[in-house]
């Protein structure tokens, strides 16, 4: 699923969503976490609220607790 499409549909009032990368997907975000990549660079914005919302959605998609996603990020 495309991150930008998800974000704009679910948070239409957040104008920073327009700056999200067109290429970013949740599968790619998971890969970035596994390879200890720069999550903010991957999604295209350096906003912790957006990152948190994306982590929540990723956890939902993976059917895991949000803490699992944060543990990957640490």
What tens digit of pLDDT does each residue of 12-35 get? 999 999 999 999 999 999 999 999
Question: CA-to-CA distance for 24 and 32, rounded, in angstroms?
Answer: 10
Confidence of residue 74 (pLDDT cuts 50, 70, 90): confident
Write down the pLDDT at residue 10.
Answer: 98
Cα angle 61, 29, 60; round to 5: 15
Q: Are 69 and 61 in contact (CB under 8 A)?
A: no
pLDDT (mean) for 46-51: 97
Gap between the Cα atoms of 41 and 12, Å rounded: 22
Domain that residue 62 falls in: 3-73
pTM of the model: 0.95
User: How many domains are there within the chain?
Assistant: 1
User: Which of helix, strand or coil describes residue 63?
Assistant: coil
Asked whether residue 59 carries a pLDDT value surpassing 90, the answer given is yes
């Amino acid at each position: 699923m495309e991150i930008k499409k998800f974000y704009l549909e679910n948070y239409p009032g957040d104008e920073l969503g327009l700056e999200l990368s067109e290429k970013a997907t949740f599968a790619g975000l998971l890969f970035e976490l596994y390879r200890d990549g720069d999550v903010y660079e991957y999604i295209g914005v350096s906003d912790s609220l957006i990152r948190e919302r994306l982590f929540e959605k990723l956890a939902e998609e993976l059917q895991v607790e949000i803490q699992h996603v944060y543990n990957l990020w640490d």
